[in-house]
Amino acid sequence: MHDEREARLRHKVIDAALDYYNQVHATRKAFSPGDRISYGGRVFDGQELVNLIDASLDFWLTTGRYADQFEHGFARHLGTKHCLLVNSGSSANLLAFMALTSPKLGDRRIRRGDEVITVAAGFPTTVAPIIQFGAIPVFVDVTLPTYNIDVTRLDEALSPRTKAVMVAHTLGNPFDLGAIRSFCDHNGLWLIEDNCDALGSRYVIDGTWRNTGTIGHFGTFSFYPPHHMTMGEGGAICTNDDQLKRIVASLRDWGRDCWCPSGRDDTCGNRFARQYGELPSGYDHKYVYSHFGYNLKVTEMQAAIGCAQLEKLPAFIEARKKNWQLLRNGLADLEEFFVLPEAMKESDPSWFGFLLTVRDGKIVSRDRLVEHLEKNGIQTRMLFAGNLIKHPCFDEMRRDGTGYRVIGNLPVTDRIMRDTLWLGVYPGLNEAMIDHMIATIRCLMGAAR
């Protein structure tokens, strides 16, 4: 009787939430020029609210049934063995890197002073874990019009201290995974794919289409609102390696050695029957720590939203591709003004944004274009840090001349810092908005002519 009453009450609350969605969120006024066009944002319907309310009524709060459902569903969607949810894409990068420093990896572990090849034209949390641990980032330039790492400089970046490559697929455009994986395999290096901006992108590897984020030793993902799908905050790490999965799980969950899920004890049957380190024999395995870890789990409510979003992901990806192509077609005859973006060979990008690099600023500067777009209600973004080593966080390292290496002078990275911006292609945009973006750019370029 109690279960029936609880079910009726639950349905009543959920029905009220759906009514709220239909009254408040479902209606959307038609776009008209002058309305703000965001570069990104959350796209949702009533199912996200249903899941969110359902999870909140359980009041489990930490990871539970929705988190487990999402981890299995996301791994299945990508075609990878393991998925571990975390509280952000930045935390995913932190845990993926720190897992490679684990003593459990023996001679292959990354130690302080070892080197990791990366790029400066990107988001800082791809690089931050390397520096925070005490390893040495080795910065390689990127190429236009793909905005990805210049693989012709990899051999130059290699040294006896190199242990890994950690780079992102820039705004959804896969980097040259064939060349980089071959380089890593040949030199015994770890490969971390920062896939936070590229969920749904694919690349042909060994003659087969594979999802990016599943080809390296780790792939990392972000579920921040502007990304391909959202939990509000949230991220994930994927791997096909059982040992790496166990290390990440330990680091994510306080560094503990025990693998019991939250709320469950003694799933191994040996909770008080073993000896660890110099602890007394039989010490409670739930409080044995094999790593210096963190608590970077998601909440159950975040995971519940993610489960609803995951069902929409294929449609989100197709909308991004469509919007990107509309912009590319609409600006195709403006190559005298812009370097227009191009997909990497052997790839099928799931675009995060549409990149534009002004040609040397001779006719219209990047700053003038940004001013014009923003004035007309079109939100713009830089390619994140532009050149990360020019930022204040690198001031002390620049003064000391230690802590990182640079291959060459990074001329393309500096050009991106000066001359590049990007526009949104997220599923919340419609063709009227895309047409307005194209017309606004063309208006400025026409006046410049």
CB distance 148 to 345 below 8 Å? no
pLDDT for 433 beyond 70? yes
CA–CA–CA angle 285, 286, 290 (5° rounding)? 70
- C-alpha 187/C-alpha 160 separation (Å) is 10
CATH architecture, domain defined by 53-302: 3-Layer(aba) Sandwich (3.40)
- C-alpha 114/C-alpha 189 separation (Å) is 12
CB distance 428 to 41 below 8 Å? yes
pLDDT for 409 beyond 60? yes
Backbone angles phi, psi at 189, to 5 degrees: -105, 150
CB atoms near residue 103 (< 10 Å): 9
- Each residue's pLDDT tens digit, 187-233: 999 999 999 999 999 999 999 999 999 999 999 999 999 999 999 99
Helix (H) / strand (E) element for 354: namely strand 353-358
- C-alpha 90/C-alpha 95 separation (Å) is 9
Read out DSSP for 379-409? --B-STTSSGGGSGGGHHHHHHT-S-EESTT
- The pLDDT mean for the chain works out to 95
Q: Give the active site residue among 82, 169, 217, 227.
A: 227
Which residues on neighbouring strands pair with residue 142, listed in sequence order?
149
- Each residue's pLDDT tens digit, 161-189: 999 999 999 999 999 999 999 999 999 99
- Each residue's pLDDT tens digit, 92-115: 999 999 999 999 999 999 999 999
Mean pLDDT of 275-302: 93
Using DSSP, state whether 35 is helix, strand or coil: strand
- Each residue's pLDDT tens digit, 113-151: 999 999 999 999 999 999 999 999 999 999 999 999 999
- C-alpha 119/C-alpha 410 separation (Å) is 9
Q: Is 372 a catalytic residue?
A: no
The pLDDT of residue 100: 98
- Each residue's pLDDT tens digit, 52-85: 999 999 999 899 999 999 999 999 999 999 999 9
- Each residue's pLDDT tens digit, 12-45: 999 999 999 999 999 888 899 989 999 999 999 9
Helix (H) / strand (E) element for 424: namely strand 420-424
pLDDT band at residue 429, thresholds of 50, 70 and 90? very high
CB distance 120 to 413 below 8 Å? yes
pTM exceeds 0.85, yes or no: yes
